[in-house]
Chain A
């Protein structure tokens, strides 16, 4: 059993033919597409209908929706201040999308949307693209001051290329962090799952040893649930920090 097989994007429900061509590329309805649709539809339904207007004493579901809302709102407020709240819908969507994708991926047999570099890189480019657009809209060419730290001129020769490179690598670091975390966790689970199967199939006393990787899987599962939340949080907070730089450049208020 190949532990990498779970990351294969393949046509789902026997829809082996492309749905249509987009710019010459065939678009399939894949297992990943199914999971993404599930993620966004269920998230949207939950966040919409868990909350009832006028219900001042929340139910558990409403409490969850409100807590996630205020969690993201406070995150933006503390990282960027009042004027960052304009971008709340975007950061909230990003956080919910990544969080729900990570959690749906924890269901055995499902597919982890965020374990695909294409998805995480697209999201990271969206974030950095937004940062660039916001930065130039707010400061014009003054946005380029972001690459010029307060330092003597002879240090700037060194510092400006470093700043430029660190800015340009942001989409990569942001996307690889999420992608690698998800990939590593799920690979580990699959590897230990493989151990359980092969030990169990060995027969005799050796079969009893299968309990060890089994227990390990339970522990890793718990760790992965934490990682699933943590990576969504990291993705969202880094988005806020980048937005803050676009809004306020280097001035530390």
Chain B
């Protein structure tokens, strides 16, 4: 029992309750605990905190960069859509313009053709009218002659042309 201690007195009793060791225990505890506190507070703590913060920062900035890239892609896509819509609108406008132009030309050509046809029609009408007048004259002359011949055959009288013409006109 007496082994390992300076005196036999110390070996007796329950070692943790030996108050004569307390001053040394308190002293070394105060020194070592204060040392550890200062080291962790001023050196190790900020170091670990710094690493954790820089990792968090790196992750956040990566996420931000990814979000920015996505925004850019979305903007590019939107710009593409706008450009496409613009091009489509311009193409439609061109087509419309061409259609208008062609329609105008068609209308003009049709008007010209109509006018030509109208002219040809009125010329033909004039010819028809002239022929009608001539025919009507010929019919009157024939009727006059026939009337003179009929009167001469029936009565033997000679009727003048003027009388015959008046008679034909009367009938």
Contact = CB atoms under 8 A, between A and B. Distances in A.
B160 to A, nearest CB: 140
Nearest to A90: B37
A5 B51 contact: no
B40 A25 contact: no
A22 B32 contact: no
A30 B36 CA distance: 19
Interface residues of B, number: 41
Interface in B1-47: 1, 4-6, 10-11, 14-18, 21-30, 32-33, 35-37, 39-41, 43-45, 47
B6 A48 contact: no
Q: Say what secondary structure dominates the interface of chain A.
A: helix
B155 to A, nearest CB: 146
A83 B129 CA distance: 119
B137 interface: no
A116 B43 contact: no
Nearest to A47: B44
A9 B54 contact: no
B86 interface: no
A41 B36 CA distance: 7
Given A27-B27, A69-B45, A93-B41, A37 B32 contact: yes
Contact of A36 (B4, B21, B22, B29): B29
Interface stretch (A53-61, A217-225, A232-240): A53-61
Contacts of A118: 16, 21-22, 25-26, 29
Nearest to A9: B21
Q: Say what secondary structure dominates the interface of chain B.
A: helix
Nearest to A2: B1
B18 A10 contact: no
B16 A117 contact: yes
Contacts of B17: 117
Given A10-B4, A16-B6, A116-B16, A47 B48 contact: yes
Interface residues of A, number: 56
B58 interface: yes
Interface string A24-61: 01111010110011011101100110011111101000
B6 A119 contact: no
B55 interface: yes
A47 B4 contact: no
A69 B41 CA distance: 12
B49 interface: yes
A80 interface: no
Nearest to B43: A48
A52 B55 CA distance: 12
A230 to B, nearest CB: 21
B104 interface: no
A5 B4 contact: yes
Contacts of A179: 16
Given A4-B15, A10-B10, A48-B44, A122 B54 contact: no
A95 to B, nearest CB: 10
Interface in A47-82: 47-48, 51-56, 58, 62, 65-66, 69-70
Interface of A: 2, 4-5, 7-11, 16, 22-23, 25-28, 30, 32-33, 36-37, 39-41, 43-44, 47-48, 51-56, 58, 62, 65-66, 69-70, 88-90, 92-93, 96-97, 115-119, 122-123, 126, 179, 183
10 contacts: A8-B11, A10-B4, A10-B6, A26-B24, A28-B24, A53-B47, A56-B54, A90-B37, A118-B21, A122-B30
